[in-house]
Amino acid sequence: MRPDQKAQVVSAPTETAGSRACLFGAECFALSWIAGLLSAFLHITLPAVCFEVILGAVLLHRRRKPELTLILLGASLGMLAWLRYDLTVRRPLCGLDGQTVPLTGEITDTRIIDSDRACYTLRTELCGKRISIDWYADSRTPELKTGDRVTLSAALSRIEPDYRFHTAQYQAGQGRYLRIYSAELIAVQADTGFSLRRAVQNYRARITETIRMRLPEADAALLCAMLFGDKTELNPADKQALYRTGIGHITAVSGLHLVFFCAVLTWLFRLLHVSRRGQFLLLLPAIGLFLLLVDASFSVHRAACMLLITRSAALFGRRGDALRSLCITVFLFTALSPYVIGSVSFWLSVSGVFGIGIAAPYLVHRCGVKGGQHTALSLITVSAAVFPASVLLCGESSLIAPICNVIILPFSVAALYLGFSVLLSGGLTAGLLPLGGLLCRIVRTLADAFARLPFSHITVSSPAVRGAVLLCAGVFLLLLILRARPRAFGAALLASAVLLGTVNGIAKLRAARELRVAVLGRKQEAVLVISSGGRTVAADLSNDVKNPQFVRAYLSEYGIDRLDALICTGRTAAAYQKELETVDVSRVILRDSTVWREGGRVCGVIPEAAGDRAFRLQLGRLTLTVDDGVLRVDRGSAAVIACRAKDEAMYEADAVIRYGGAPEAEDRCRLLLVPGAGEVPPGAETGRNQLLRIRPDGEIAVQSLESGRGIGGLYPDS
């Protein structure tokens, strides 16, 4: 076997004559299974079948019949697996939307939504399948605990996509399509016996309370996020800084946490001189308790499976194999739960493990580097492996992750080990928490400093850039499969950087030359975000308290960190203060007669009171005029007017936006946009959360912002 083959971290029995199928059989089958499952999920089955035929012809021509059989079998079974799940589970569950059905199930999790509402996770049976469903109970419902069995008459509601959040997509990645907002509690069977799940949850709550009592709020929130994956109390600014520096993975309980946990236990077992077989048997229940204790995502379950496969290999006289372990794990999880193919956590975890366990060792071996160069190359390789999934699924990725992981991650790991000591000792080592809090403060400070650098991250919303990312990822995979030399990888990396930089620069230049007006809000509300020439203004016209959430979502999707002006009212000012905490707002104008407290700030600036009078803003070539609820936007020869649907005046502009219902007046315009209205004039554009684009040549286009927001269209069924 050549040295470059050894570097692929692939170990197997001796190659047999005539074929390498026995050596790479598991990998061929598992990878083709994933390809088939993903193609059926994305509704591209026909192109996938055509590709299978072409690939089959090539392999048949090269006399690779064993590989051909495994690949075709895996891809076909993958397609059938998703089609079966779709027909027997997803569609029947979604078909129950709006129906009231009797349910009996066990409470598996409880959490408080606000002061008077609780959310219970109910494990029950629907359509002949065991599923978990969230029940949002009101204040009249008696307090329930984990382990209780309840009988409900429940009104089922499908989880609908919401532009503000990724809820529908995230829940679909967990196989959840329904929720209960209204239910009549018929009977409760209290669990009076011992419940391991409840005991573990109570223990976690006690440790969490200990941490929060002994540390400042921000430090305690970060330590709890690192230890349990509970990010509910984490400051939005801290959360954004962590992800933009590429160390956000420390706040999502992942395989890294499980490895640390098992490393501590293994060290204790060795001190007690426990045999290797005994260590493996003791790790089984320990890993089970860990999964109950934390907010376990797919990455934790994946790591647990891979860890057990790797540890068990030595018991059977075999070497651990990262690629085969990953392929087997991915196959097992997708075979048992096909819906994880649509989980962002799934793809980030798989790409991370691929970078750490396969790509990085291969490149390090081929380059022959050691010491600091070894670490640097490994970190760069891992970041490159995660980059495509981050950009395509999350819309954003860190550009300084390798540097930040070297500088910041050691402090995070030290804080995590201190947290584990408190967790495993039952709070007896709580005296170490101040040191853990100091380490968390250092992590927050460094992350904030690095996140403020001009090129700390990249935000991608252009389809052209996403296509370029896919192309570059395909080239790197091809080079890895062909076992190319390091120079080829270096050239590919340089070419990819130039290509992505060029395509992204062109996309931003085109966006800056356009006049963009995002019409956001729920139902028939309207809050506008106007962008042109690097200037951005948010103008809230309907004053709904939920409007700031839509503005935050839009700014995040398009990577806008600065607002030149915010136009709102006193009624929504506090909500904007909360939602735009991470946005730099230069100017705030209150367009009502609400008396704002003297010296009070909104988004960090003292607001200007415009009252009911008309006012005008001049920002470069962009001009905004507000008069009696009518907003006019001018940029060069392009003009857009936004007004109430009941306004009887007729307006003349390139585009007119009528919000709040069906319009009564007939405007003279090339495009009429009516957000959320059911009955609209012929030819008018309608729908919620639309982006109006006027190009320099005068061409007008409207696109929906709700289809595939931030995830690259990964959830076509939503």
342-365, pLDDT tens digit by residue? 888 788 878 877 887 788 888 888
Mark whether 101 and 185 lie in a shared domain: yes
Segment 219-242 shows an average pLDDT of 85
Mark whether 449 and 311 lie in a shared domain: yes
Q: What is the mean pLDDT of the chain?
A: 82
Mark whether 546 and 636 lie in a shared domain: yes
Whether 356 is covered by a domain: the verdict is no
Alpha-carbon torsion (387, 255, 39, 54), positive or negative: positive
Mark whether 164 and 106 lie in a shared domain: yes
User: End-to-end alpha-carbon separation of the chain, Å?
Assistant: 48
Whether 373 is covered by a domain: the verdict is no
pLDDT for the residue 15: 39
One-letter amino acid for residue 338 of the chain: P
Asked if 481 and 443 touch (Cβ cutoff 8 Å), the reply is: no
Strand order in the sheet with 668-675: 615-619, 622-627, 630-635, 638-644, 652-659, 668-675, 685-687
**Cα distance between residue 339 and residue 82, in whole Å:** 8
Asked if 584 and 562 touch (Cβ cutoff 8 Å), the reply is: yes
**Cα distance between residue 516 and residue 633, in whole Å:** 10
Nearest to residue 223, comparing CAs of 445, 449, 443, 451?
Answer: 443
Which domain-ending residue is among 176, 193, 210? Answer: 193
pLDDT for the residue 707: 62
Which domain-ending residue is among 69, 93, 117? Answer: 93
Mark whether 538 and 441 lie in a shared domain: no
Structure tokens at 11: 């170990």
Mark whether 173 and 296 lie in a shared domain: no
Mark whether 121 and 80 lie in a shared domain: no
- What is residue 564's DSSP assignment? S
Whether 238 is covered by a domain: the verdict is yes
- Dihedral-angle region of residue 635 (phi above 0 means left; psi in -120 to 50 means alpha; beta otherwise): beta
pLDDT digits (tens, 9 = 90+) for 465-511: 888 998 888 888 888 878 888 888 888 889 998 998 899 889 888 88
Residue of 191 and 314 predicted with greater confidence:
191
- In angstroms, the Cα distances linking 593 to 171, 360, 596 are 43, 62, 9
Q: Name residues whose C-beta falls within 8 Å of residue 463's C-beta, 6 or more positions apart in sequence.
A: none
Q: Which long-range contacts (CB under 8 A, 24 or more apart) does 645-653 make?
A: 645/524, 645/674, 645/677
Which domain-ending residue is among 93, 124, 140? Answer: 93
Whether 286 is covered by a domain: the verdict is yes
pLDDT for the residue 639: 93
**Cα distance between residue 168 and residue 187, in whole Å:** 30
Binning pLDDT at 50, 70 and 90, where does residue 21 land? Answer: very low
Mark whether 210 and 314 lie in a shared domain: yes
pLDDT digits (tens, 9 = 90+) for 158-202: 998 888 888 888 888 888 999 999 999 999 998 887 777 788 888
Mark whether 12 and 42 lie in a shared domain: yes
Q: Name residues whose C-beta falls within 8 Å of residue 595's C-beta, 6 or more positions apart in sequence.
A: 570
Q: Could you list the residue range(s) of the whole structural domain that residue 437 is in?
A: 197-320+392-459
Residue for token digits 């590919």?
Answer: 492
Task: List helix spans (H) across 42-111.
Answer: 45-61, 65-85, 91-94
**Cα distance between residue 262 and residue 279, in whole Å:** 10
178: phi then psi, degrees, rounded to nearest 5: -130, 155
Task: List helix spans (H) across 527-569.
Answer: 547-557
Q: Which of 12-21, 289-298, 533-542 has the highest mean pLDDT?
A: 533-542
| Count of CB atoms situated within 10 Å of the CB of 452 | 11
Structure tokens at 19: 């074929």
Whether 712 is covered by a domain: the verdict is no
Residue of 82 and 318 predicted with greater confidence:
82
One-letter amino acid for residue 691 of the chain: L
Q: How many residues does the chain have?
A: 718
**Cα distance between residue 256 and residue 244, in whole Å:** 19
Binning pLDDT at 50, 70 and 90, where does residue 718 land? Answer: very low
- Could you tell me how far CA 526 lies from the centroid of its own chain? 26
pLDDT for the residue 7: 39
| Lowest mean pLDDT, pick from 62-71, 305-314, 357-366, 691-700 | 305-314
Asked if 263 and 455 touch (Cβ cutoff 8 Å), the reply is: no
pLDDT for the residue 295: 58
Whether 345 is covered by a domain: the verdict is no
Whether 336 is covered by a domain: the verdict is no
CA angle 158, 677, 687 (to 5 degrees): 60
- What share of the chain in percent tops pLDDT 70? 85
**Tally of domains in the chain:** 5
CATH number at residue 121: 2.40.50.140
pLDDT for the residue 60: 62
Mark whether 202 and 290 lie in a shared domain: yes
Residue 717 CB burial class (10 angstroms; 0-12, 13-18, ≥19): middle
pTM of structure: 0.82
Segment 71-91 shows an average pLDDT of 90
pLDDT digits (tens, 9 = 90+) for 667-695: 899 999 998 877 778 878 888 889 999 99
pLDDT at 65 over 80: no
Nearest to residue 632, comparing CAs of 649, 611, 609, 608?
Answer: 649
Asked if 54 and 12 touch (Cβ cutoff 8 Å), the reply is: no
Mark whether 48 and 112 lie in a shared domain: no
Asked if 387 and 232 touch (Cβ cutoff 8 Å), the reply is: no
**Cα distance between residue 135 and residue 154, in whole Å:** 9
Q: Name residues whose C-beta falls within 8 Å of residue 262's C-beta, 6 or more positions apart in sequence.
A: 283, 286, 287, 307
pLDDT for the residue 302: 64
**Cα distance between residue 433 and residue 415, in whole Å:** 9
Segment 645-668 shows an average pLDDT of 88
Whether 708 is covered by a domain: the verdict is no
pLDDT for the residue 320: 57
Mark whether 530 and 623 lie in a shared domain: yes
Per DSSP, the three-state class of 242 is: helix
- What is residue 14's DSSP assignment? P
Segment 2-19 shows an average pLDDT of 39
Q: Which of 212-221, 309-318, 449-458 has the highest mean pLDDT?
A: 212-221
**Cα distance between residue 399 and residue 246, in whole Å:** 8
